[in-house]
Structure formats: C-alpha cells, structure tokens
Structure 1
C-alpha cells in the first residue's frame, strides 16, 4: 500500500463525441433518442463529449445541456467551442472545455507559423499490438496510441478498441472501435465482417447497418464525409 493518500496517473478512455450541427432542442432530443434506441447497450448512460464547433447561432446552453442529459447520456466535457460567451457558460456549469487531438496539432502548427519558428514534426502512430489468440466473449482489448492486429477469430460479446487501425484476420464478431482517440483517418480491415458494432472515431454502425453485400465478406471500413463507408478488401 502506498504511503501517499492519492496518486495522479495518466490513462486513456474510449468516449463517443456527439457533434451537434444545430441547436434546436427538440430536434436534438429526437435524434439522440433514435441513436440510443439503435444501440442501447452501447449508448445508454454513456459518457460523451459534445462537439459544438458547428454551432454559430446564439446557443441556450443550459437548455441544450438539459436536453442531452435527459436522454440518459452523461456529458463529461465540451470540445470545439470558439465563442467566448458560450465558453464562459460552459465553464460556469463546471464542465471542462476539451481540445481534441487533431485540433491540438493544427493549433500548434498555426502558433509555430505565427512565431516564425519551424513546425515540430508530428510522429505518426507506428507501433502495433498483435494478438494471435482467439478473442473470447467478454474480453476487451485496447491498443492505446497504436494499431491492433488480431490474427484469429473475435467472438460475439468481445470488444476491440484501438487509437489507430484495426485488422482482424479471422471471423470478426463483437464490437470493433478504431480511431478511439478521435483519429478520423483510422480504418478497419477484416476478412469476415460479422460485427455487432463497428466504429471509427465515434461514428458507428450496428450489424443491421452493414450493407448485405458486405456481411460476412472481406471488407475495409473508413470515414468519408463524416460517414462510415465500406468497400471490398482486395
């Protein structure tokens, strides 16, 4: 047992980001309730970050926050906020204002350009976590800051999470979440697409959303125009 009363350690958590494209409360409520109904086990009482970068009209923040939380989602932070008044309202409510990874890189590059200093090189994700054994139901495997490769089957009820890409060279059931830290360029590669849920940077499909012609086939999933897309894995 440690002699100190507390320890402060870094950690990583998988969070969904809800991108709000308008501030009309009832429209948002209905849209969120529809999403939660599609995946209650995944989204019911889920912790989420609200991205408000697309909201440019005056926002009734207390009402908006109440609408989101009334659906059962737990708002743990807000990202993409540029309006000083809205920032002050969010801060007064005690919610943290977050900066997503991609925004940090862009801001650092902009500040370096303004100062005349050469920009720092951004080191891409190069490490890989390799799993050779079958991933059983109830298992949860997370690959922080790297890609994840599974050379065996993934059972229903299992969960794969990676900040980078995910490759599955076997039957891919269960839940598969790539780009968990917000990397919208992450992809999912698999030889047998039969997942319960697939997600890239928080944008997800349930099994019912997977096009029938790709179900059970070798496939490659990626984001295009903020939507999941699938194509054959050649």
Structure 2
C-alpha cells in the first residue's frame, strides 16, 4: 500500500528530559525566628563569599523551631532572604502542617535534608566519640596528631570507595554515594566533590569539598594542596575567607569537633 504523502512525522522523543540527581543546594536551619537577624547573617555570607552564596539556592528548614511560623511571617522571611542575595527554592520536609505552609508559600518540599538532623527511628543523634583536638595543642603536637589521624580515616557505610582518576574541572561535580571519595588529581575552582564518607584529594583543592553529606560527623577531608573555596563536614562549613592564610597551599585535614569545623596542617 502506498505511503500517504505529506503526513507529518511523529516524534516519540520527549520535549524535555527530566533527571533526578545530586545538586548543590544549601540548607538553612532556622533556630530563631528573627527575620532581621537572619537576613543580616545571610547578607554577610553573600558579601564574604559572593561566588558561593550570591543567588545561591537555599532550602529553608523550620525544624529547629518549637512551632512553625505563620504564613505571613514565613513569607516575610523568604522576602528578606531574597533581598539579602539568596534564592529560597523549597521548604525542608516536616509534617502535615509544614506541607500546608509550603503549599501556601507556593514552594515544594524537599525530604533529603531530614536525614542530616533526624536519624531513622527518631531520637537524637549520638555524639561521635571525642577525638584529640589538634587546635588546642602546640603546633608540633598538632601536626603529629593530624598525621596519625590520617592513617585510618573513617569510612562511609557503603562498599569500596569511589576513585576519580582525572581532574574535576570547573562546573563538574563528583558524588560518592554512601562511601568515601578519592580524587587522584586536582579539584578545580568552581568544581565540587561530595561524599557521604570521607574525601581524599591527592592534588590541589581549589573548588568545594563536602564530606559526610548525609550527616556523618566522623567523616573527614584530606588534601595535599589546600586552596578550597569551601569545605564542609556534615553540613558545617568554612569558606576561604574564614581559613587562616598560613594553611593555604598546605597539606591539611578537615574534621568536625562537636559543632566546630577544624582544619590543621598535615606536615
């Protein structure tokens, strides 16, 4: 049978391809509903590190409050954050009231951040066993303690670590799901490496490194040449402007001591 002439071709390809993946979104845990103070803190972060936080996507988490704010107060907070230079894109997962607040604000809910604060089964996360605090020791002892700690870094909860052999270039992101990440080359400015376990970088770190991404406070970051835009362990972070100048270009390790992010030279 002859083929019909002039019939439009039918395309079965989607007009848009939707993928769900790991994205670099900051989580803002609200601990005090002081809109002016929160806006001032965000403005300060943006001014100190505009490349990191300027127009940065932020998930607003009201889980640190005893009660949710009303819609008017929540909307005022979102407006203040936008005026400070951030872009609130969602609320963190909570309960049915939190879901209703998100609907009224016209924002989605993101559930992934819950794991960083509320362990499965409820209750409070047990604190990690206390480790030696190099920052409280003389420089020589601090260096020896940091070096010995590098021998057996805490591993992720999953299988063998992920090895990235080539350099991670600007705009690229490497994520080690439920395991450690080892980068055998450099992490360039504007690049991002993320692991649920620890991160080991054998080249220069000029971008961002985020260890313990799902809340593992025992994770650490080790790098041979430290110029990081940002480092974080279990959500606690420091940007380049917060890091002592004498550590830049050095081999360092980064770890969490309570709620304080510590950085010490390895040599």
Interval of TM-score (by shorter of Structure 1 and Structure 2)? 0.7 to 0.9
* Alpha-carbon distance, 1:13 to partner: 1.4
CA RMSD after TM alignment: 3.1
Instruction: Encode CA deviations 1:150-175: one digit per residue, 9 max, x unaligned.
Output: 12333444433334321112332233
The whole-number CA distance in structure 1 between the counterparts of 2:123 and 2:242 is 38
Larger Rg: 2
- 1:94 maps to which of 106, 109, 121: 106
* Alpha-carbon distance, 1:217 to partner: 2.6
Q: TM-score, normalised by structure 1?
A: 0.77
Do residues 24 (structure 1) and 34 (structure 2) align?
Answer: yes
The whole-number CA distance in structure 1 between the counterparts of 2:173 and 2:28 is 24
Do residues 69 (structure 1) and 82 (structure 2) align?
Answer: yes
Please identify which structure carries the higher strand content.
1
Alignment correspondent of 1:133? 166
Q: TM-score, normalised by structure 2?
A: 0.68
Distance 1:41 1:107, change over 3 A: same
* Alpha-carbon distance, 1:142 to partner: 1.1
Partner-residue secondary structure (3-state), 1:106: coil
* Bigger shift: residues 10-19 or 30-39: 10-19
Q: Is contact 1:14-1:181 (8 Å) kept?
A: no
Structure 1 gaps, min length 5: 111-122
Partner-residue secondary structure (3-state), 2:47: helix
* Alpha-carbon distance, 1:93 to partner: 1.9
Structure 2 gaps, min length 5: 1-10, 125-155
Distance 1:127 1:215, change over 3 A: same
Alignment correspondent of 1:55? 65
